[in-house]
Amino acid sequence: MTESPTLYRIPPQSGAGFTLKRGDVLVVIDAWGEQVSDLMAFAADERGEWLSSGRTFDYNETIYLTTGHVLYSNRSRPMFTLLRDDVGRHDFLLTPCSTETFEILYPPGTADGHPSCFSNLVQALAPYGIQPDQIPTTLNIFMNVVVDESGRVRIAPPISTAGQQLHLRAEMDLIVGLTACSAEGSNGGTFKPIDYHVIPAGTPQ
Amino acid sequence: MTESPTLYRIPPQSGAGFTLKRGDVLVVIDAWGEQVSDLMAFAADERGEWLSSGRTFDYNETIYLTTGHVLYSNRSRPMFTLLRDDVGRHDFLLTPCSTETFEILYPPGTADGHPSCFSNLVQALAPYGIQPDQIPTTLNIFMNVVVDESGRVRIAPPISTAGQQLHLRAEMDLIVGLTACSAEGSNGGTFKPIDYHVIPAGTPQ
């Protein structure tokens, strides 16, 4: 009999930092539905190496990542492989929401004391020696960004429903930051938790 | 009588590094037509601050940048304003071509000794203390990347013709790297020079 992995809950508008070993599978779960989770990763043995949206778009030749795609670092090394995707719509164009996001794109006053994925990632990754300037575009899991023919970008509510999952296999030892997103516009107007667990490397699937 | 600014030529498959003062206008010219030029920039007084594709997409709500758009840093500060765009098609999704680009996306053997925008930017920016891991997605001037409805990314020849220009006004003091792109697939199969000059801040337009 195999022990079940611990299920972690990221409360609404907060974040978590943790490490993965090569071969571990990170399972990210939209606990209640319509909730975005921003993910950032760095190589555990080389913190200057980071998850790169640009290299990932380059080598997959698409802006929409799903099952079978590999996510690359800025050094063009595989960081994750997407093993299972219940939703089929995630974003890798936009940055984590920040104080400036709420200042520039939201009604006046929104930014005051507003939690943000950026500050939650800064806090979650600080214990691992990651500096704020090292946090680039994140993989915004379950985020529904629609790009029309003219290139215009529109943020729509996530199409994910309660319990839907994305499974990411770590292809190297990693430092990971993960959030339950804090932006009204990305989450259908309400803030929900994100659940995650880790299936250890070598576990029979 | 006003002195004309010096015109610089970046030879095919090479790069240049230089600084701009706030208010300077960088004029990038496709000398012979159908030639991409990758641009990267860092704040001169704070080299941890870099030109961010993600923040730029966020605040402009488009993936295609043209006249009137502002290019932002990772700290959400304006770095450039696009003042004049003769072409209307540039890319900010993909990374500068690199040895790994030629290994992964090109026929076997292409990578051996192949020049790349990434290595040219590394060399051009090293005198300013910029490390290779700090070079993220570049603004790929004149690069024609078509994204279809499914999110698929296709690199087509540039639509730029000889002498067409992009004018970028520096909104802070900047360190800049600029290339004449080295990738066959991005430049219609041939390598041409890129010309640039700088209109100093305060020059009557």
The single-letter code of the amino acid at B32 is W
> Angle, to 10 degrees, between the axis of helix B53-60 and the axis of helix A53-60?
90
Confidence band, pLDDT 50/70/90 cuts, at residue A60: very high
Confidence band, pLDDT 50/70/90 cuts, at residue B3: low
The token duo for A116 is 């943000």
Q: With an 8 Å Cβ cutoff, is A147 touching chain B?
A: yes
Chain B positions in Cβ-Cβ contact with residue A181 (cut-off 8 Å): none
- B62 to A133: CB separation less than 8 angstroms, yes or no: no
What is the spatial distance between Cα A205 and Cα B174, in angstroms, rounded to a whole number?
51
- A63 to B133: CB separation less than 8 angstroms, yes or no: no
Q: What percent of chain A has pLDDT over 90?
A: 96
What is the spatial distance between Cα B83 and Cα B99, in angstroms, rounded to a whole number?
33
Distances (CA, A) of B132 to A58, A125, B77, B118, B125: 18, 22, 23, 8, 9
Q: With an 8 Å Cβ cutoff, is A165 touching chain B?
A: no
- A58 to B150: CB separation less than 8 angstroms, yes or no: no
Q: With an 8 Å Cβ cutoff, is A156 touching chain B?
A: no
What is the spatial distance between Cα A154 and Cα B71, in angstroms, rounded to a whole number?
19
Q: Taking the CB of residue B77, how many other CB atoms lie within 10 A of it?
A: 16
Residue A179 has pLDDT above 70, yes or no: yes
Whether B133 and B33 have beta carbons less than 8 Å apart is answered as: no
Any alpha helices (H) in chain B, and if so which ranges? 53-60, 99-105, 117-125
ipTM for the whole complex? 0.96
What is the spatial distance between Cα A152 and Cα A57, in angstroms, rounded to a whole number?
18
Q: With an 8 Å Cβ cutoff, is B88 touching chain A?
A: no
CB-count exposure of residue A202 (10 Å: 0-12, 13-18, 19+): exposed
- A137 to B48: CB separation less than 8 angstroms, yes or no: no
What is the spatial distance between Cα B27 and Cα A9, in angstroms, rounded to a whole number?
51
Written in H, E and C, the secondary structure of A107-157 is CCCCCCCCCCHHHHHHHHHHHHCCCHHHCCCCEEECCEEEECCCCEEEEEC
Whether A49 and A77 have beta carbons less than 8 Å apart is answered as: yes
What is the spatial distance between Cα A78 and Cα A97, in angstroms, rounded to a whole number?
26
Q: What is the pLDDT of residues A133-167, one digit of tens each?
A: 999 999 999 999 999 989 999 999 999 999 999 99
Residue A4 is predicted with a pLDDT of 74
Instruction: Find the distance separating the first CA and the last CA of chain A, reported in whole Å.
Output: 14
Q: Which residue of B has its CA nearest to A66?
A: B151
Q: With an 8 Å Cβ cutoff, is B48 touching chain A?
A: yes
Residue B192 is predicted with a pLDDT of 98
Mutation to test the B interface, candidates A52, A58, A91, A155, most B Cβ within 10 Å: A58
Chain B positions in Cβ-Cβ contact with residue A133 (cut-off 8 Å): 48-50, 74-75
Chain B positions in Cβ-Cβ contact with residue A88 (cut-off 8 Å): none
Q: Which of A51, A142, A137, A157 is nearest to A94 (CA)?
A: A137
Residue B201 has pLDDT above 70, yes or no: yes
- A94 to B57: CB separation less than 8 angstroms, yes or no: yes
Q: How far is A198 from chain B (nearest CA, A)?
A: 29
Segment B45-68 shows an average pLDDT of 98
The single-letter code of the amino acid at B4 is S
Q: Which of A194, A189, A184, A185 is nearest to A163 (CA)?
A: A194
Q: With an 8 Å Cβ cutoff, is B59 touching chain A?
A: yes
Residue A2 has pLDDT above 80, yes or no: no
The single-letter code of the amino acid at B21 is K
- B59 to A153: CB separation less than 8 angstroms, yes or no: no
What is the spatial distance between Cα B205 and Cα B202, in angstroms, rounded to a whole number?
9
Residue B93 has pLDDT above 60, yes or no: yes
Confidence band, pLDDT 50/70/90 cuts, at residue B5: confident
Confidence band, pLDDT 50/70/90 cuts, at residue B4: confident
Residue A5 is predicted with a pLDDT of 78
Domain ranges of chain A: 28-199
Mutation to test the A interface, candidates B55, B122, B134, B154, most A Cβ within 10 Å: B55
